[in-house]
Structure 1
């Protein structure tokens, strides 16, 4: 079987959707299926050695600081390459931009179209317009209408499947979480990562990994960690792995609190460095309310790092409070989150 995937974000980007698409493609290929991926180009300074099965479409990268790339019209040679590949199924990972191209590709060839609902798109409308309830409703409507144009829909968690059904998705929904290679994350070298960041081996490391963006609720998280520092030993540090538009606000908050020396901003990492970073942590903290699965939580747990998170879609499918981590109420204030860290 030949499967052609369309995605607005892909390697070398290290976000959850890019890693999910890569993981699914790799696993399908191991099972003997052929996969072609249509994805945006990336700047030359982020060159990525990739398989022959990735078709790059010219695009404006990280539009307005977002996780998405905005494509320009698809060149004719891409359409020709798809014909040469002779797909049996078109798999779209977004309901717009290259998702629109996926819909047209499936329609013109009378092929089944599968859509994975990776994202709560209403949480990302601030990248296009200032906070607007109208735009949030429109984002929900676009994703719902698109899903109902597809043959089948994939949800990464039960809570997302339930949510999109409530929003009006009528097509069959399959729940397929993104898998994690437990051995890979368990084998990370935390000591070498600590050494590379100047973190003492005896330090207590509170960690976070992911895209640093407003929809991840990071100012809340930074405030909670700063409050926890009031009761934690001086050898406690906050290790933040990732990059994005919220990076400066996190740094400024720790500077204003006089704690900049206890903040380690490690930047964007990929591959083996991700496993090393997780293993460098003693505790993983997560406050996003915009997840559909919370892949980083699964990765942290695979690396045998205890986790604390807020109850939200996706996250509640992974954590059971007091059983495999701490799952705090969605409306918990930063004092409550800080207390969970200290305890």
Structure 2
């Protein structure tokens, strides 16, 4: 089977969607399928990625708003004659996927990775769209495709509440267990000059408001007061980085924080494997791959059981969970693991078994393969799509871009 995936992000960018697409591609190819990617990012010398240029976001240079080249996309489709297309975001390349679906009559699967209503704060006032507008847009897009994939049951219910009528399959991203079984490449303690007596806490993710990083910093402040011999490694980048750097430079606890920025996937695995504990307080995750990756590496997790985290983790199976964002309760769980080596080791073993039994990438790729095979090749569609909602959103984005660039020039 030949599959073309459309995405606003791909490796080497470090985020959950890029990782998900990379893993599904890898395991579908293991099953004998040809997978092509249309995206604004690509590994070096990957001839199965059609690289799409775009507008670089001023505050996050590693991300672009892709500007689809319909000629290049059409040429790719004509050359490989795909059996299915699979979009991973409802924006510019998602619209390109809709146009491809209509023009060539190819079955179209869409994965709704992100609860967009939770990210409206990135669009500054007065351009911030109301919640119902985002819900309406999401429903409109999903109702144009042939089948929708949701990472969790909660997101499926949310989409149905919006008015999505197309079939929705719950299919989370699995974990590439094999990559966590290799021998260590390097020592993170040597790399960052961390003594053998220091405990290492780890956070991996985009440095942004929705990850609840201020809470993580508050937790570390209290832990440092009690333990002293403790480090917090923060892997990732994003708009909150300057604030974290300010905290790092101006406080005693902050001087024990290590900011790595984005790091290569193979190197990231070493951070998972060699840390003592993974801490995570986001309450807006659609799935939260990072917590499962930590368990696969044998590093227990303390997290808040909200949204996607609640759907993927089980309390006691490699993780200790709290039901609400509560500093006292979170600290209690972290301190319990930092002072009880037997419990930490037991959770490490249970976490690995949990991921292997329920979250193997082999299982998820097989399910996606069956979904693809269930779709029939469409006759070229005569229906016309109403692109007004999308056009309005692009107009808002262009205004926001103007505002951002104007601000930078004035500064």
What residue is the counterpart of 2:138 in the other structure? 143
Query: Do the aligned residues in 1 keep the contact of 2:189 with 2:196 (CA within 8 Å)?
Result: yes
Structure 1 residues not aligned, in runs of 5+: 43-47
Q: Secondary structure at the match of 2:216?
A: helix
Q: Secondary structure at the match of 2:130?
A: helix
Is it true that 1:160 corresponds to 2:166 in the alignment? no
How far apart in 1 are the matches of 2:148 and 2:335? 41
Q: What is the CA-CA distance between 1:174 and the residue it aligns to? A: 1.2
Aligned residues: 336
Query: Do the aligned residues in 1 keep the contact of 2:52 with 2:69 (CA within 8 Å)?
Result: yes
TM-score relative to the length of structure 1: 0.91
How far apart in 1 are the matches of 2:68 and 2:13? 22
Q: 1:336 aligns with which of 308, 314, 329?
A: 329
How far apart in 1 are the matches of 2:126 and 2:28? 39
Structure that is richer in helix per residue: 2
Please give the root-mean-square deviation of Cα atoms over the aligned residues, in Å: 2.2
Change (3 A) 1:161 1:80: same
How far apart in 1 are the matches of 2:334 and 2:303? 10
Change (3 A) 1:98 1:321: same
How far apart in 1 are the matches of 2:185 and 2:154? 33
Q: What is the CA-CA distance between 1:222 and the residue it aligns to? A: 1.2
Q: 1:221 aligns with which of 191, 194, 216?
A: 216
TM-score relative to the length of structure 2: 0.76
Q: What is the CA-CA distance between 1:79 and the residue it aligns to? A: 1.6
Change (3 A) 1:156 1:165: same
Query: Do the aligned residues in 2 keep the contact of 1:7 with 1:98 (CA within 8 Å)?
Result: yes
Give the alignment of 1:254-269 within 5 angstroms.
254-269=248-263
Change (3 A) 1:24 1:312: same
How far apart in 2 are the matches of 1:198 and 1:92? 43
How far apart in 2 are the matches of 1:280 and 1:37? 32
How far apart in 2 are the matches of 1:283 and 1:211? 18
Question: Which segment drifts farther, 153-162 or 109-118?
Answer: 153-162
Change (3 A) 1:143 1:305: same
Q: What is the CA-CA distance between 1:202 and the residue it aligns to? A: 2.4
Q: Secondary structure at the match of 2:307?
A: coil
Is it true that 1:324 corresponds to 2:321 in the alignment? no
Query: Do the aligned residues in 2 keep the contact of 1:63 with 1:69 (CA within 8 Å)?
Result: no
* 1:17-38 Cα distance to aligned partner (Å, 9 max, x none): 0111111111111111111111
What residue is the counterpart of 1:281 in the other structure? 275
Q: What is the CA-CA distance between 1:90 and the residue it aligns to? A: 1.3
How far apart in 2 are the matches of 1:66 and 1:161? 32
